Amino acid sequence: MTSTALVLRSDGIEGLLSVVPALRALRRHGLRVVLACPPELSELAALTGAVDRILPARGLAPLTWPGPGEEDSGHPPLLPDLAVNLHGRGPRSHRVLLNLRHEGRGVDRLWAYANRDVPWVRGPWWQPGEHEVLRWCRLLRWYGVPADPEDTTLPTPLTASPAPGAVVIHPGAGGTSLRWPAERFATVARRLSEDGLPVVITGSLRERPMALLVATRAVLPPQIVLAGRTSLRQLCALVAGARLVISGDVALTRLAAAYRTPSVLVSPPDGRRHPVLHESGDAGAISSTQVIDAAVRALGAGVR
């Protein structure tokens, strides 16, 4: 019988993309993978080719394993004997997995980084500032599972792109303090559109008002605003077929990298290895001209 690994990675798109090589390494190791993550990421998890089932998870809230009568929910009824913490250094994330119980039994083994507050868990020590992809591959290698940090490419979903060959502008960011001003995104969108490039603006449903504002200030029709109108699978298809992604959110540039799509990340420095355009810790210090010039270089053609 194939062993099952329960893997915790309970955050957003960027977090899931950072563990793709680790998930694939577990699958190659002969394990069936159940991923504890937000259910809205299920389409992206399926594209990794390494996830058998999703266990719905929110942050570090307690996990609930399905009972014997819940097989139809898409989850295996038996608690796995291995848990893998690809979420953080612990101790809270360690305990989320260690506290999981089913019919009086807990998880037998936990692969995780060492933490002095959970001394019975053996593992390598956390290295601050380490690139996320390398960090999780190093964890698995410590337990004897080879993992290739370059194994990040995603297959294009069998879904039509809503705008093939477009320049995707994603003005959202993790927080308003990191957000590049809407009027500067608008300047970039207008300039690229004037030079004959099709432009679309993406984002979540919550970010749709800001996306509409960018389109209005760029004097572009509201039809180009796809924010709140695409599923995650459609967004993947859009990015996979895009000419360029310009984003204030590192998650979109990481998705672009998974599809080998050129990208420009408008962000203050964050210590991670992404194509970041910045001059200081303030995203507002970046000019529209800088982003347009970076877009031209990324496209590899003169947009003049």
CA angle 83–85–90, rounded 5-degree value: 125
Helices (DSSP H) in the chain: which residue ranges? Answer: 13-18, 20-28, 42-47, 92-98, 132-142, 182-194, 208-217, 232-240, 250-258, 288-299
Residue from 80, 117, 86 nearest 102 by CA: 80
| Residue 266 and residue 283 in contact, taking contact as beta carbons nearer than 8 Å | yes
* The pLDDT value given to residue 2: 72
Which residue(s) pair with 53 in the sheet?
A: 34
Regions of the chain with pLDDT less than 50: 69, 72, 177, 269-276, 278-281, 301-304
67 HSE (CA, 13 A, CB side): 3
Rg of the Cα trace of the chain?
Answer: 21
| Residue 247 and residue 228 in contact, taking contact as beta carbons nearer than 8 Å | no
Q: 105-106 and 101-102: which strand pairing?
A: antiparallel
Q: Kind and range of the H or E element at 37?
A: strand 32-37
Residue from 149, 193, 191 nearest 293 by CA: 191
* The pLDDT value given to residue 280: 37
Which two three-digit tokens encode residue 290?
Answer: 């800088």
Describe the crossing of helices 288-299 and 182-194 by its angle, rounded to 10 degrees: 40
* The pLDDT value given to residue 278: 43
User: What is the per-residue pLDDT across 214-254, written as a single tens digit (0 to 9) for each?
Assistant: 999 999 999 999 999 999 999 999 999 999 999 988 899 99
Compute the distance between CA of residue 200 and CA of residue 289 in angstroms, rounded to an integer.
19
* The pLDDT value given to residue 184: 93
* The pLDDT value given to residue 105: 76
DSSP notation for 155-222? PPPSS--SSTTPEEEE---SSGGGPPPHHHHHHHHHHHHHTT--EEE---STTHHHHHHHHHHTT--G
- Residue burial 138-154, b: 16+ Cβ < 10 Å; e: rest: bbbeebebebebebbeb
Compute the distance between CA of residue 32 and CA of residue 6 in angstroms, rounded to an integer.
9
